Structure 1
């Protein structure tokens, strides 16, 4: 039962901090799931993140996968399913409730100086959170200089060109298949 409470507290609190989307809180999610609760290793977390990003649907699918892993380690497949569902609900419900409530007042304050200040402040905050996510995921996934080099090259291609990302993903997968990375 304590694992389910830990899942609810972790994802309920992260839900309220996920400004810019669920990926913005991945560093803290990693810190707690790997370092504090020991539900998985850093490599397993990176694998779950990769899998969750390649599947169709919301990018926050990793939450259900972490909840499943936590429940699985606590008592088997049924606990895993309960953990996954609980994690997903706890990640969505608090933020959705807060957004709904704030939106009721936000619409009425279109010309407010406070609203404009908050909107200007959230943009750099969101960018910082996403950059922190990139760093944490790179450290978790990259294990030697070749992987770091491939990460840097892919980042350059994404930033400097309009090349279709599927081509870059396919090339990186092929290099992994060949054992280059």
Structure 2
């Protein structure tokens, strides 16, 4: 029984920390999350992590739903609940506490500098997440080709990501059948 509490405490600590760092969404903390979940704790393999992320991205709703799903895979319903509370609770409280101050200084040049500085940081974290997911999923040259084609379609067209996901899934099915 004690190990279940230890596991839930570890999940709470990890997801609480990451939720406060996720400027720009869950994608910005994906490399650290993958490092912890796959490399440190060995709760999932890199392929399971990438597949769970893809599944949650394809489902309706915000991509942050991916985090409680990791808790569910690791510790069932208690893990899901702990991860959900720690994913949504700390940033909500932080936002509520800082909103008044942030609004008070809306015209201050320092605020604009902070916002400008966060844009490239967020873009870099998103790029690191893309590299991580590519490394986890492109295990063969056909899969690497599907990744490259999907990235090109996403960048060069206005296709819905759902169509790109569907096309990639069908190509993967055909190539590995």
Shorter-chain TM-score bucket reads: over 0.9
In the alignment, structure 1 residue 94 sits paired with structure 2 residue 90: yes
Give the CA deviation at 1:170.
2.4
Residue 67 of structure 1: which of 49, 65, 71 is its match? 71
Give the CA deviation at 1:24.
1.1
Paired position in structure 2 for 1:84: 80
Distance 2:165 2:38 in 1: 26
Residue 2 of structure 1: which of 3, 6, 12 is its match? 6
Residue 107 of structure 2: which of 104, 111, 117 is its match? 111
Paired position in structure 1 for 2:23: 19
Instruction: Give CA-to-partner distance per residue, 1:87-131, whole Å, 9 cap, x none.
Output: 011011111111111111111101112101101001111111111
SS of corresponding position for 2:60: coil
- Work out the number of aligned pairs and report it: 173
In the alignment, structure 1 residue 171 sits paired with structure 2 residue 171: no
Paired position in structure 2 for 1:46: 50
Residue 134 of structure 2: which of 124, 135, 138 is its match? 138
For structure 1, which runs of at least 5 residues remain unmatched after alignment? 72-79
For structure 2, which runs of at least 5 residues remain unmatched after alignment? none
Distance 2:17 2:63 in 1: 18
Q: TM-score, normalised by structure 2?
A: 0.92
Instruction: Give CA-to-partner distance per residue, 1:47-100, whole Å, 9 cap, x none.
Output: 1111111111110111111111221xxxxxxxx110011101101111111111
